[in-house]
């Protein structure tokens, strides 16, 4: 599910769960472990990448749709923990968006320090609403940090995927690169950070990342995941998610 | 003053008060009524449009300048109520900016969910300061949501109108279209929202719109309208508004 | 160190301390005096400019590195006072960025009302981290106001200088002009503000500038300068600053 390698102090964590790098419970758990373990393993930075053409299609709805309330609640808590592990990592985390990046896939990238995306026909965005999931406030607010309030509203309310070119234009990603250069470019950006005086870079990073950590505290105080679960079991969301699963099954079958 | 029609669940409210769709007390009252009544009348979305070439020139200064303190205080409260009716509408509200859109006219559009503007020679902006009115904080803050703090400061302090092309570039409007396609494009954007799972879209919209509702609460707590009225009767503002009325009279005479 | 002139109500304060307009204690003190004294001297606006090709290279590290803890603490307090004098000036302050503008130089411009920069090969940015200084939160937050959170994070954490063209694209400066027209363009922008009804312009300006004053209060409450000084005497920062001084000495020697 994960292919982990290390080179020159940068730990690359490659999502490798064909076909779509769908985020199921096991992948999320391993991801948390890989990210939280990076510093202890001696890495100085983390690079999160995907399969060529596919960064991640988001949460594994076919698996999650079968869970009972306690299980899905746990799954969402684990997903938030994964996002928090990325956002509060003591090491800089780069997303090498090696292709399509939808919903939960785009959300992973959102919480990284920086994003390099494959140019071309690939799309990225927050299509949660399109598949029946109200966008959790935490994610909307984190998106606002990158693209401003209006663009975040447009993307989240509209459930939109946008082209790589538009993603760069609105600052949802920092840079585009040819598919086969995405990982190298993300790595180069991390190397540039690692070449800086580490205390100065790290202290400055703490200040900017603290803004994101605050969002997790707000989400916890507001009991945000309880609302997510409430909506999850609504008739509309169940119907939309089941329709999505039927489409995926038909496509693969 | 208003031409109201409904088609496929979208209630179009067309400002039709020649020549400039100036917002006088009656038009504001009717607008509040039309927006607040939309959901009860069975509409699923609202489209606010203007006359070809003219969305709205803003508040009807020639009428308002004659009001006494109690009357003008009421008029400003009603204008804020109108903005709040738009901002807190349970239905998505699109602005089809069919031409020139100055001061209060641009402000109406600002509080809508989305904005499509006629391309070409039309101008939009916040020229309140140019005509002697200090920009109320509520409006500056709402503008910041669309264009960011610096651009909002530049537009509001400078009392600037900008071209349609610049308005799109700084995200003050979402899209430009030929004049005769503006209403259709705004309608298409509403239809795209209405095609989404309604609970998911509506709940996400609530989160993003709540940020704007908060601004109204802040304005109320700060007694913002009292300050607006204080400035209204200052020598400078009275002189500037009277000069504006003289220019309008000369132009029409 | 400063060349002060006045024309048509605009007081131009020209930084003139060759070669790099480095901000030492005396220059900072004179700058505070010149800015705070502008209104009393009858000026209606302030224009802060530099030498052709060099706005300011930032703090005078060769001087500051020799100071003891009490002296450097005072120097940073004075630098913050200078930024606050700009940010809270009752008169609009324009930066005519006549060339290179690094670290503290860019910070001066950041707190002005508006920025016109020389086009071409000049660079501007926040390279504090590159020279071993963790970016103070106040400056990061003020930068966020201009360029949004993500760009501010990218610039500050990365210790980046960017081209004039990129600075304009991300809204770090408002306008580019040929080097010999920068002062005139900044002056024209001030004249446009001064041509507006003064109460309306001034009251609106107060609202937008209040957001920045709040940042100074936050910094004071957080004891931000104490943290700056703590870092200043860290082994890393001392080493990086000494290396910078050695480079500067070699360059000039």
pLDDT for position C253:
73
B159 touches chain C (CB under 8 A): yes
| ipTM here | 0.95
Tell me if A218 is assigned to some domain: no
Q: Tell me if C140 and A203 make a contact (CB, 8 A cut-off).
A: no
pLDDT digits (tens, 9 = 90+) for A18-38: 999 999 999 999 999 999 999
Residue among B132, B137, B151 whose CB faces C200 most closely = B132
Chain centroid offset of residue A100 CA: 12
Task: Count the Cβ atoms, other than its own, within 10 Å of residue A242.
Answer: 14
Non-local (6+) Cβ contacts of A54 within 8 A are: A19, A20, A21, A98, A99, A100
Q: Is the dihedral of CA C23, C171, A126, A102 positive or negative?
A: negative
Tell me if C248 is assigned to some domain: no
* Mean pLDDT within B17-24: 97
Tell me if C232 is assigned to some domain: no
Q: Tell me if B197 and A234 make a contact (CB, 8 A cut-off).
A: no
C193 touches chain B (CB under 8 A): yes
C154 touches chain B (CB under 8 A): no
Residue among C145, C171, C204 whose CB faces B135 most closely = C204
- Cβ contacts (< 8 Å) between B130 and chain C: which residues? 196-197
> Which chain B residue shows the shortest CA-CA distance from C208?
B153
B235 touches chain A (CB under 8 A): no
Which residue of C131, C134, C233 is the best one to mutate when testing the A interface, meaning the one whose CB has the most A CBs within 10 A? C134
Chain C: closest CA distance from residue B89 (Å)? 28
Burial class (CB in 10 A: 0-12, 13-18, 19+), C42: exposed
Mean pLDDT of chain A: 97
A197 touches chain C (CB under 8 A): yes
Residue among A147, A204, A211 whose CB faces C129 most closely = A204
Residue A175 has pLDDT above 90, yes or no: yes
Tell me if B51 is assigned to some domain: yes
Chain B: closest CA distance from residue C5 (Å)? 25
CA distances from A75 to A66, A228, B206 (A): 12, 11, 25
User: What residues are paired with A123 via a beta bridge?
Assistant: A163
Residue B163 has pLDDT above 80, yes or no: yes
* Mean pLDDT within A136-143: 98
Q: Tell me if C196 and B130 make a contact (CB, 8 A cut-off).
A: yes
Q: Tell me if C199 and B157 make a contact (CB, 8 A cut-off).
A: no
Q: Tell me if A237 and B203 make a contact (CB, 8 A cut-off).
A: no
Q: How confident is the model at residue A250 (pLDDT cuts 50, 70, 90)?
A: very high
CA–CA separation, C97 vs C246, rounded Å?
Answer: 27
pLDDT for position B252:
80
- Cβ contacts (< 8 Å) between B145 and chain A: which residues? 149-150
The CATH number of the domain holding residue B123 is: 3.90.226.10
Q: Record the tokens describing residue A144, joined without a space.
A: 């606002």
Residue A252 has pLDDT above 90, yes or no: no
pLDDT for position B27:
98
Chain B: closest CA distance from residue C157 (Å)? 21
pLDDT for position A103:
97
Q: Tell me if B200 and A137 make a contact (CB, 8 A cut-off).
A: no
Residue numbers of chain C with a pLDDT score lower than 70: none
- Cβ contacts (< 8 Å) between C131 and chain A: which residues? 197
Q: Tell me if A135 and B171 make a contact (CB, 8 A cut-off).
A: no
A160 touches chain B (CB under 8 A): no
Q: Tell me if B204 and A156 make a contact (CB, 8 A cut-off).
A: yes
- Cβ contacts (< 8 Å) between C148 and chain B: which residues? 148
The number of domains in chain A is 1
Q: Tell me if C129 and A208 make a contact (CB, 8 A cut-off).
A: no
Tell me if B159 is assigned to some domain: yes
Residue B233 has pLDDT above 80, yes or no: yes
Tell me if B135 is assigned to some domain: yes
Tell me if B233 is assigned to some domain: no
A150 touches chain B (CB under 8 A): yes
Interface partners of chain C (CB pairs < 8 Å, 3 or more) are: A, B
pLDDT for position C18:
96
Residue among A140, A151, A237 whose CB faces B171 most closely = A151
Do residues B182 and B117 make contact, with C-beta atoms less than 8 angstroms apart?
yes
CA–CA separation, A225 vs A134, rounded Å?
Answer: 12
C160 touches chain A (CB under 8 A): no
Domain residues for the domain of B88 are: 2-194
pLDDT for position A253:
73
pLDDT for position A192:
98
Which helix (H) or strand (E) is B26 found in, with range?
helix B25-36
Which helix (H) or strand (E) is C202 found in, with range?
helix C198-221
Q: Tell me if A201 and C153 make a contact (CB, 8 A cut-off).
A: no
B168 touches chain A (CB under 8 A): no
pLDDT digits (tens, 9 = 90+) for A210-219: 999 999 999 9
pLDDT digits (tens, 9 = 90+) for B49-105: 999 999 999 999 999 999 999 999 999 999 999 999 999 999 999 999 999 999 999
φ/ψ region of C125 (left if φ > 0, alpha if ψ in -120 to 50, else beta) reads left
SS3 B131: helix
pLDDT for position C230:
97
Tell me if C209 is assigned to some domain: no
Q: Tell me if A197 and C240 make a contact (CB, 8 A cut-off).
A: yes
């Amino acid at each position: 599910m994960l292919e982990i390698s290390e080179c020159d102090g940068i730990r690359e964590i490659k999502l490798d769960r064909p076909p779509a790098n769908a985020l199921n419970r096991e992948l999320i758990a391993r991801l948390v472990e890989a990210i939280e373990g990076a510093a202890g393993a001696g890495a100085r930075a983390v690079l999160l990448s995907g399969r060529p053409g596919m960064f991640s299609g988001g949460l594994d709805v076919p698996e999650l749709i079968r869970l009972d309330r306690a299980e899905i609640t746990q799954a969402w808590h684990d997903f938030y923990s994964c996002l928090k592990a990325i956002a509060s990592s003591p090491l800089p985390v780069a997303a090498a968006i090696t292709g399509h990046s939808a919903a939960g896939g785009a959300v992973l990238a959102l919480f990284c320090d920086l994003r390099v995306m494959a140019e071309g026909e690939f799309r990225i965005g927050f299509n949660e609403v399109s598949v029946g999931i109200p966008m959790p406030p935490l994610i909307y607010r984190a998106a606002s940090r990158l693209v401003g309030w209006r663009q975040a509203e447009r993307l989240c309310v509209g459930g939109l995927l946008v082209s790589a070119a538009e993603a760069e234009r609105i600052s949802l990603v920092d840079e585009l690169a040819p598919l086969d250069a995405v990982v190298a470019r993300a790595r180069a950006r991390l190397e540039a950070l690692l070449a800086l005086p580490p205390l100065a870079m790290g202290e400055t990073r703490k200040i900017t990342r603290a803004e994101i950590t605050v969002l997790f505290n707000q989400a916890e105080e507001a009991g945000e995941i309880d609302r997510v679960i409430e909506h999850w079991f609504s008739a509309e969301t169940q119907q939309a998610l089941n329709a999505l699963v039927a489409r995926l099954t038909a496509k693969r079958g």
